A and B are shown apart, each in its own frame.
Chain A
């Protein structure tokens, strides 16, 4: 009989990037790469576990922006185009490397991986990967939770209706695509502040996650730390992140992904190969980009890189899975000696894109881990928050602390000299949206369309990703432009609506471009 639980949580998110006005658009690659390297490999792992009858539980957030992109016909079509080109390149690579025994098997691996991705995407799941995750949900293996509608960082939003809209729109869209309302939420960047739980409760959400210090700094002091959920006064539960299990996977120094046998992320044929040869697979402007075929392993701390050897890497992934499980068993045994009236739960959340995209062997590691948990031991059992709360509905009542899981634990990553200028505009737009929603209740026709589009533009401007990118320094221009464009579109709609002069053709254009949340109802801002 298990002495404690492990709740693995994968936060799956990309901002809404869709540019029908361009035939190809660099930033759309974020989605295509994540599909090929993370989403499909993870789906394959879960399908494999189910086919083999391996019992498992996992929690995944699918953010509303990601759901919107994964179910968008234009992006689906473009992904097929993208993967077809990659397959063509990989086939050429198999041919080119025929006399290079160290690279040939790798070229074949990529060719097979891309062919499999196309099969899973097109044939198995009819171009709609959300249906794959829904299947795992309906089989009872996966708890799917939601997130802020566009991943807006809620503690910096000020306008309560703007926060409410992030939640309401998310819950509505989630329910439409997954067939049931979400019971939990991954707060964008784990950004929590006191009182947010009340809004979650309004929308039927029963639990959220915080970083460790969100619980450790709660008042009164939580008796069981992060190893049992707590309730806010509203009755909404908070699960805190476990530091130890986090580090082992996230950290480059103490963690697994930095192992020298694993694949090197920064070494890509998009940069390594002869320009004329690779050019047809780059974007039309001919600038080198990552293409996703990477032949080298991390090797060491220098720039010298040796060819990647797949079976060595897989062996390491298996060892690392064993190590992770061993540590969780010891952790659970230790906790069970302290926590007497319930089984402890270890909450281990990660960005889903860590698995496969950043850490190429991540999905294999997860696969080994889940199989080992099922067959190699009896101390630790996988669970989901809902299952845990059903077993232990009685929790301590505390006030979790304002916190995020970002750098330094609070809001600084999204509020610093590189990006603090955006809040003036975001707050103004949010207040104006509230004003519009109150001035025009029950609008219909073109006015209703304009009001709904204004809400979409505001939401899109609020994505925390833009502030994040401004801070990190790559694709800054794009992030700035996205923020500006959406605020400007919002502002023009605001002026047009107030001046009773809506330009229907222009409205049609931006409805087509920013087509997220077709069922949005602006009155959520009233």
Chain B
């Protein structure tokens, strides 16, 4: 689509288009930004600036895999092995073992390589924990499915990392229709995100806020907040053309991880010696003292441990004999 025809559209229409094309629009984008994003997407690939782009990255790996499936079987195996290389610690070798003879009448089910994008070492180990070599058993029976919505008014915010927060919401469509009838049919459904750092939020005392238009009464969004360490809350509601905002539901308050080394260098120290002494069941007369008696406490701890050991090993033995 030419830029000129994009210019003709309203911001809402552009946003809807962007959504259709699965381009995520950063909060607060102007019309020019939107046109930029959309015309870029007509070229090659969607812009990766926004929140969902990262998430989608995982999915974008999939088409390649499914393409491989249509290729001849042997090739597919090789391709997959190659695809696995960055992910797996060691590439899964193709089956060319000196031990292997041709397999007849063997049920062919493709082995899925356990990662669609490169994983950190630690995740590889966990993946290996669940790696049986076989994808799944025969398709599991599908029973009832989970409800699409619960018929309630609700919005929840979750911190994903220092930059991004995730929100999901649900507002019954009848409620939206009812309120729109009163507020005007051009009122927009939007999520209003408040920075509530350091305040006891009462709906009006946020230090800052922004609106994000949304289009689904049951939906979710990744917000690129870019404010590590701060606290947020969100309303979902209807914004009228004259700027009034009707709150339909308010989220939980949520804090973002700080993501950086603190500048605060104040030092405060605490001792929970007494708690530890309690933990070991040491009598109060000796725990009462301070570090002057720590020698004594140490000695008691040692004795205590010895007692633990002897009683435990005794009971262990008797249990064994009982078997």
Contact = CB atoms under 8 A, between A and B. Distances in A.
Interface of A: 14, 25-27, 29-30, 33-34, 103, 126, 131, 134-135, 137-140, 155-156, 158, 179, 183, 193-194, 206, 216-221, 223, 231, 235, 250-252, 255, 257-258, 264-276, 283, 285-290, 295, 298, 301-305, 351, 353-354, 357-358, 389-391, 393-397, 401-403, 405-413, 415-418, 420-421, 423-425, 427-428, 465, 468-469, 471-475, 477-478, 481, 484-485, 487-488
Contact of A415 (B160, B258, B270, B273): B160
14 contacts: A26-B136, A139-B313, A231-B272, A273-B100, A274-B103, A285-B138, A287-B137, A298-B90, A351-B122, A396-B267, A401-B259, A409-B161, A413-B123, A417-B52
Contacts of B257: 217, 401-403, 410
Contact of B89 (A257, A269, A405, A465): A257
A23 B303 CA distance: 51
Given A252-B121, A406-B122, A420-B220, 17 more contacts: A139-B313, A206-B275, A220-B268, A231-B270, A231-B272, A265-B90, A266-B90, A267-B97, A273-B101, A275-B103, A301-B90, A390-B276, A401-B257, A401-B259, A412-B160, A475-B135, A481-B140
A80 B93 CA distance: 31
B114 A471 contact: no
Question: In the complex, which range does the number of interface residues on chain B fall in?
Answer: 35 or more
Given A220-B265, A269-B99, A472-B127, A415 B158 contact: yes
B114 A472 contact: yes
B273 to A, nearest CB: 4
A424 B147 CA distance: 10
Contact of A354 (B115, B125, B316): B125
Contacts of A393: 271-273, 276
B166 A415 contact: yes
B111 to A, nearest CB: 8
A233 to B, nearest CB: 9
B134 A26 contact: yes
Contact of B168 (A255, A353, A424, A474): A424
Contacts, number: 293
A475 B113 contact: no
Interface stretch (B30-38, B196-204, B304-312): B304-312
A112 to B, nearest CB: 20
A478 B161 CA distance: 27
Contacts of A396: 267-270
A471 B124 CA distance: 12
Interface stretch (B4-12, B53-61, B179-187): B53-61
A235 B129 contact: no
Contacts of B138: 285
B267 A412 contact: no
B66 to A, nearest CB: 12
Contact of A475 (B89, B91, B130): B130
A424 B134 contact: no
B2 interface: no
B319 to A, nearest CB: 8
A488 B164 CA distance: 30
Contact of A473 (B115, B150, B298): B115
B143 A407 contact: no
Contacts of B56: 417
B81 interface: yes
B279 interface: yes
A162 B139 CA distance: 32
B121 A219 contact: no
Contacts of B279: 183, 206
B308 A140 contact: yes
A69 to B, nearest CB: 14
A286 B106 contact: yes
